[in-house]
Structure 1
Amino acid sequence: MTNYCISFDKIRHTDLPRVGGKNASLGEMIRKMTPLGIRVPGGFAVSAAAYREYIQASHLLEPLKESLDSLDRKSLKNLAEVGSRCRKLVLSGEIPDAVQKEVETCYRQMGEKKAVAVRSSATAEDLPTASFAGQHDSFLNIRGTAALLDSIRNCYASLFNDRAIKYRLDNGFDHLEVALSVGVQYMVRSDKGSAGVAFTLDPESGSGNVVYLTSAWGLGELVVQGAVNPDEFYLFKPALEKGLPAPLLEKKIGEKQHKMVYTKDPKNPVKRVPTSIREKKEPSLNEPEVIQLAKWCLEIEKLYQCPMDIEWAKDGKTGELSIVQARPETVHQQKALTLKTYHLSGSARPICTGKAVGKAIASGRVSIVKSLADGPKVRAGDIIVADSTNPDWNALLRKAVCIVTNKGGRTSHASIVARELGIHAVVGTGDATEKIQDGQLVTVSCAEGDEGRVFEGKLDWEEKTVSLKGLRATKTAAMLILADPGRAFQLSMYPQQGVGLLRMEFIISTAIRIHPMALVKYHEMVESHEKKAIQAITADYADKQQYFVEKLATSVGMVAAAFYPKEVIVRMSDFKSNEYRELIGGNHFEPDEENPMLGFRGASRYSHDLYREGFGLECKAMKRVREEMGLDNVKLMIPFCRTVEEGIRVLECMESFGLRRGKNGLEIYMMVEIPSNVILAESFADIFDGFSIGSNDLTQLVLGVDRDSALVSGLFDENNPAVKEMLTQVIRAIKKKGKKIGLCGQAPSDYPEFASFLVGLGIDSISFNADALLAGIKNIQKAEKK
């Protein structure tokens, strides 16, 4: 006797031909994950055999074949007509008695008053090479046998959705060979809780060092559809595995404008309602819940042995978390052998901004799409702008060079489709359909970190395609100079050997914006517009100093996680006093100096009474990154250290704030940028673990040239014999002491002979800005061949 219905706990991954990818995955998870304490709601699968019996008993095979054979496969101009005809045919059928009886029996065993989710599960679904995600329909909050049977028939009909027909054509599947199983699963009462999606990699770069999790109030459909801007969380995998106290790298609170909840109307069992002001502002998951889910995601990834796309839900009544679906992540399975870089020329003010998906730039005519009815006006090469997108638009979206939406996060439908199509998108802008006009010419850029921007008109940009074939690793480490944490995951995919210089001051000026001493002395500050600004920015922090520590740790942590386990050398803040004054509250704590370039900067600040407590906040942040977040690939570097005695004072100061050199493998480097650093190199090598030459400062101080002065800029030259003599001396001295030394600067990428000079001296590493990295590697390769 054929078993038309199979309990999930009896299903194995080998049953995929019987129950489809989604149901096979659920069965495997229930068997393997339940013993680990991971909740996966139970239920049963209506098998593919039941679907085939339905088609055969209703005599639908030939009519479906005839209809599908009439499809114009080249232009697809009659796709909507063919799809509609197929769906009507399927809905005209009757579920055979034998199938119906088994469904009723299994449903009674679940408890007929229980709400269930009814999900399609095709036999060609959730494969590592073709996910079919979103192609077929699901139905939520289904109650009663009649509603369940209707939902099963509707699932069968969705096998012939326009988008599913197109997807099968694109992936080479025979329409009538693919069968549909249906999963009937207990509903998690997330309508009173929250739900979302998790990836066991960074969905943009494909970096496997993190778990990326999104969350919003209510049922998870709005997150999957991209109909809300969800909360976002990044977690560091090694910290999760080791059980460290702070695996959460970053948290962003989304607007979460709506949520999907149950209704009592059997014809419309779910509806969308606005969220409250409190729900918009508050995270839809607390930190322990985020960490718990992320740990579960790691276990699921281990089970499948590949990156995973996971849907989860939180029951608002019991507070319990559950995993409701999991499928292999397909976009990043193949790594490209080419690297395409984009750079906007000039500057302009964006019309609107959102989250960047992809790293490209495109210009085109705007086509505002509200529904499929707007489809005919979309032309190939258009930029589609919409409130959000849905799976019915897949064929339409293939015409676009880029997508812009008001709503959605990086796990939304628009984001997933953009990645699959190899185009970029800007999602979650909030107001794109209001700010951008139909037919307007715009430029959309996702090339500057994690913020996507839309500009009016056609802007100019540079586009380069570089083959990575044969770009072998060099003995002299080629590293990156980095300032913006938003670019970290993207740049970690470049052929590099770590970060030779992460500039802390960029993070302070953009992510924090407040002078650290203004946070230390906040309660002593007189009422002023600066104090009001600080209060507004730090409103969520009773302890204002904690704001600085958390923001700095988060930003550095994201970079260190992106490059882990490769080293990331973080330079402690190197603002000049005039630059510190630009921070909010900075004018209250900074001296006026005639020549800030040679004044109160670098190491001299750190143990000084005017800044020591501010430096303490920097140290506390770095201690959190290394010890609580588990990012022990972070090394610290001291800039502009004039004397050995000053270096000793800084190290003592750092130790007083919990950063002792050598503890937990902590290495502390020093910048070489002053002639005294060269002359006393061996003495400095006795107290520091490694060195990095700041070629700009060293050149200007050796030659006595202000590098910011246009009048004498022609004299600034790293190739000057005096500069080269200093470089020779310091590299030889440091190598003699058995310590590492590198250089950060532009010259080795611009001048092959300069790279050859450094390599000949045995320098350990050379760090480049991202746009100069590939040229720099080629120059190192040439030098190492000599």
Structure 2
Amino acid sequence: MRETDAYVVELQTLSRGDVPRVGGKNASLGEMLRNLGGAGVAVPPGFATTARAWRAFVEANALGPRIAAALADLAAGRASLAETGAGLRAAVLAGDWPEAIAADIRAAYRALADRIGQADAEVAVRSSATAEDLPEASFAGQQESYLNIAGEAALLEACRRCYASLFTDRAISYRIAQGFDHQAVALSVGVQAMVRSDLGEGRGASGVMFSIDPETGFDKVAVINAAWGFGETVVQGQVDPDEYQVFKPLLAQPGVVPIVEAARGTKEIKLIAGDGAEATQLVPTSMAERAAMVLSPAEAMQLGRWACVIEAHYGCAMDIEWARDGRSGALFILQARPETVQSRKAAEGLHSYSLTGKGRKLVSGLAIGDAAVAGTVCRLESARDIARFVDGAVLVTETTDPDWVPIMKRAAALVTDRGGRTSHAAIVSRELGLPAIVGTHQATAVLRDGQQVTVSCGEGDLGFVYDGIAQIAEQTLDPSQAPATRTRVMLNLADPAGAFRWWRLPADGVGLARMEFVITNHVRIHPMALARFDQLPDSPEKAEIAAITADFADKTEYFVERLSRGLARIAALAHPNPAIIRMSDFKTNEYAGLIGGAAFEPAEENPMIGFRGASRYYSPRYREGFALECRAIKRLRDEMGFANVIVMIPFCRTLTEADRVLAVMAENGLRRGENGLEVYVMCEVPSNVILASEFAERFDGFSIGSNDLTQLTLGVDRDSEDLAEVFDEQDPAVQWMVARAIEKAQAAGAKIGLCGQGPSDHPEIAAFLVRCGIDSMSVTPDSFIRAKSAVSAAENG
């Protein structure tokens, strides 16, 4: 028999050109076994039945006419989807194996058992349709998989059940929606040596990995979800997994650990091998498993490297399943298929949504997509309740699987209790363009049938459900409309959760990253309350700090880790361009609002010009807190590898202050010039302009803070409504200050930019700055294209 006529083939003989013979899943496994083993990518061995075997099975059991008639009845409305699917599955399950096919499956199974040294080898049996795992259609979860199958008889039965799953209700409806001819689709069965990711408490694990950020398409990170046990719980959204984000460009750099996110999931259940007739069963995880992270940093980086190798080989973004064997601890790749959503979004503009009139926040979870919608809640317990669903409603349920797809297509948004970014709910929602919030833990308990809500996925990594119907404004930005400019135009960013959304903007880096916003949103605790935790009196706040930092024996490590990881996402967006991070610039009343902060902050009449910025960093009141900020920056640059990070000092009033701050930084491992470290200073106090030449001897660059400089030059409270007309960045006195600062900085060889909204809102400000010869301007992302256009016009005017 020619190889092309074979009923069964070994996976390692296949390539991605074999999709018509063995489907997308098996063709991809063969492609990796043949080509990526030399790069260290481990794939379990196995074999596959071919499309010819499927057609021979259909012919031997005279199923062809029955299949055609049943699908014709469905198309004509003479039978329901449920009736059609049930009838066809029963017909396939009643079919007998032609002896030639059964013999080939048994022989291939025995050969695999010999190869891995197991008598009754444990195998995973997975369906692979010939219209599956394609760049334009994932067919995620449409057919069945069976785990931990052992013995020839059990294997043949599992293969037959895979065949029957070609006619699940969801598979039939998906093919109809995608326009695939049912009769033209064949089913291959992949049989792989089983990776026992269910064995060993706190050892066997599995999950899903994308070679890009699946929400934004940011192509410099690999996103990994991980949970204990078999991976179906992650895919089906039954568990809230750990999530890791690995920065790919630095994975090849020795000595650094570029993990920009490592968030622990609850991982309350896991799927393991079953007892008796049940091949698998769901069981609760132990308290130790829930508390532990699934992957070590080295393992997350290894998976990230494999994602890079696989992506480079296929030439496109990839959706990958992986597992860690509980006996050996070895990592394996189980599947790899093209990512189907972000790859098709590249030509679209960036959408930005803003809400006004929103009600109180009801629940939050992981945001899928970037849209915001308002509607009425329809809470369902099961896909069997489809008749209750109202088109255009907000679907609220515990979790989804492929049976929910027909309802999801009719929904305005989806909100689930469970699931991660790589769950079925997330994957299908992205494909459908459906805004979704997954893993809320409490949506079904909090949201009521008929309740009017607003679902917002456009505020970063987290999505929120608000009470009532808010007003939603949408703005579309087209990065291709941004002209080239000699003056660098950079971004102002504060929220790491939303940073990756802006990666398609052709920015020249991040000109201002506000550390205090990261502390507020990602750390939440006053650094002095962590540095002096043992000295705090017993109080509800101390108990709250203890609960938040329970995983950290050293409370200060909590601050350093959370801050460095948050800032890393901003640095990753800018890389390899500069990311200028301003050290914390809270006012005392804002610091006091942090958990534990009131005990460490003085009460001031005018915090705006009080104990803020540089004056805090060397003061006994805050010096230990500043040391933690320095530790976070040092970790970000030296341990994580983001050498593109530049440090900026705010509100530095005098040369003496400058010297004191630089000395404190050096004591904490941040010495200007060492390991390429540049240190900038904000130019926002008139003394910074008057003594610009002297400040330039101490700093590598300046960033003009136009709001504070205007306030202090004109003596106007920038927040005063009564003096709003007086506060004018285009006042001649302010412009004189700006022009002198630029002139003196450049004469001293220091870089100088401006961070503020003025150039975006007022083209004449951009023109003035260009005439002065400024090096850069930094603006908010939503005004970037407008600012870039204003700068271009000024340069060419």
Distance 2:251 2:643 in 1: 14
Match of 1:291 in 2: 301
Change (3 A) 1:77 1:580: farther
2-structure distance, mates of 1:168, 1:505: 50
Within the candidate set 198, 202, 207, 1:191 is matched to 198
Aligned in 2, Cα 1:660/1:714: closer, same or farther, shift over 3 Å? same
Contact residue 337 and residue 469 of structure 1 kept, 8 A: no
Residue 436 of structure 1 deviates from its aligned partner by 1.2
* 1:686 aligned partner, one-letter code: E
Aligned mates of 1:634, 1:458 — CA distance in 2: 41
- 638, 649, 652: which is aligned to 1:641? 652
What 5-or-longer segments of structure 1 have no aligned partner?
none
Contact in 1 for aligned 2:358/2:469 (Cα 8 Å):
no
Offset at 1:749? Answer: 1.8
The reply on whether 1:3 has 2:3 as its aligned counterpart is: no
* 1:106 paired residue number: 108
Please point out which of 243, 247, 252 is paired with 2:258.
247
State the alpha-carbon separation in 1 of the partners of residues 227 and 297 from structure 2.
14
Secondary structure of 1:121 counterpart: strand
Secondary structure of the residue that 2:75 maps to in structure 1? coil
1:262-315 Cα offsets, whole Å, 9 max, x none, are: 11233x311112223332222223333323322332222233232211111122
CA RMSD of aligned residues (A): 2.1
Q: Distance in 2 between matches of 1:508 and 1:470?
A: 34
The alpha-carbon deviation at position 251 of structure 1 amounts to 1.3
Letter in 2 for 1:288: A
Q: SS where residue 489 of structure 2 aligns? A: strand
Q: Aligned pairs, how many?
A: 784
Query: Would you say the 8 A contact 2:399–2:417 is kept in 1?
Result: yes
Contact 1:238 1:630 in 2 (8 A): no
* Aligned-partner Cα distance in 2 for 1:699–1:465: 32
1:118 is aligned to 125
Q: Identical aligned pairs, as a percentage?
A: 51
Between the aligned partners of 1:660 and 1:453, the Cα distance in structure 2 is 42
Pair 1:517-2:534 in alignment? no
Q: Secondary structure at the match of 2:453?
A: strand
Pairwise mapping of residues 6-405 of structure 1 onto structure 2 (< 5 A)? 6-72=9-75, 78-111=80-113, 113-192=120-199, 193-266=204-277, 268-334=278-344, 335-405=346-416
Q: How does 1:520-559 map to 2 (within 5 A)?
A: 520-559=531-570
- Aligned AA (2:62): H
CA 1:339–1:300 in structure 2 vs 1: closer, same or farther (change >3 Å)? closer
Whole-angstrom CA distance in 1 between matches of 2:78 and 2:718: 62
Secondary structure at the counterpart of residue 414 of structure 1: helix
Q: Secondary structure of the equivalent of 2:36?
A: helix
2:720 matched residue in structure 1:
709
Deviations 1:559-603 (A, max 9, x none): 111332232110011122232233333333333333322222212
Shift of 1:719: 1.5
User: Which residue of structure 2 lines up, in the alignment, with residue 475 of structure 1?
Assistant: 486
CA contact (8 A) 2:481 2:785 kept: no
Q: Equivalents in 1 of 2:13, 2:160: separation in Å?
A: 24
Is the contact made by 1:72 and 1:79 (CA closer than 8 Å) also made in structure 2?
no
Task: Tell me by how many angstroms 1:55 deviates.
Answer: 1.6
What secondary structure sits across from 2:571 in the alignment? helix
Higher mean Cα deviation, 159-168 or 20-29?
A: 159-168
Cα contact 1:205–1:493 (8 A) shared by 2: no
Instruction: Give the distance between the partners of 2:242 and 2:338, measured in 1 at CA.
Output: 23
**1:241 is paired with a residue of what secondary structure?**
coil
Q: 1:596 to 1:350 in 2, by over 3 A?
A: closer
The amino acid of 1:41's aligned partner reads P
Q: Which amino acid aligns with 2:566?
A: S
**Conserved 8 A contact 2:492-2:781:** yes
Q: Whole-Å Cα distance in 1 between the matches of residues 378 and 195 of structure 2?
A: 38
| Preserved contact between residue 456 and residue 465 of structure 2 (Cα < 8 Å) | yes
Which residue among 720, 724, 739 is the counterpart of 2:735? 724
Aligned to 1:785: 796
**In structure 2, what is the Cα distance between the partners aligned to 1:450 and 1:485?**
9
| 1: CA distance, partners of 2:157 / 2:570 | 50
The code of the aligned residue for 1:49 comes to R
2 CA distance for matches of 1:61 and 1:776? Answer: 63
- 1:486-501 pair list within 5 angstroms: 486-501=497-512
Q: Distance in 2 between matches of 1:587 and 1:153?
A: 67
**Offset of residue 476 of structure 1:** 2.5
Verify the 8 A CA contact 1:72 1:78 in the aligned structure 2. no
Preserved CA contact (<8 Å) 2:401 2:424: yes
1:62-106 Cα offsets, whole Å, 9 max, x none, are 332233234438x99843333334333333432211100001111
User: TM-score normalized by structure 1?
Assistant: 0.95
1:679 alignment partner in structure 2: 690
Q: Which amino acid aligns with 2:97?
A: I
Structure 2 counterpart of 1:362, one-letter code = V
User: How far apart in 2 are the matches of 1:441 and 1:591?
Assistant: 44
Q: TM-score of the superposition, structure 2-length normalised?
A: 0.94
> Which secondary structure state, in structure 1, belongs to the residue aligned with residue 97 of structure 2?
coil
Q: Structure 2 unaligned runs (5+)?
A: 114-118
Separation in structure 1 between the aligned mates of residue 448 and residue 595 of structure 2, nearest angstrom: 37
> Matched residues in 1 for 2:721 and 2:655: separation?
34
Deviations 1:692-715, CA, capped at 9 Å, x for gaps: 110110000000011123332331
> Aligned to 1:659, what secondary structure does the other structure show?
coil
Whole-Å Cα distance in 1 between the matches of residues 254 and 59 of structure 2? 54
Structure 1 segments, 4+ long, off by >6 Å, are none
Aligned to 2:116: none
Structure 1 residue 764, shift from structure 2 partner: 2.2
Q: Report the equivalent of 1:608.
A: 619
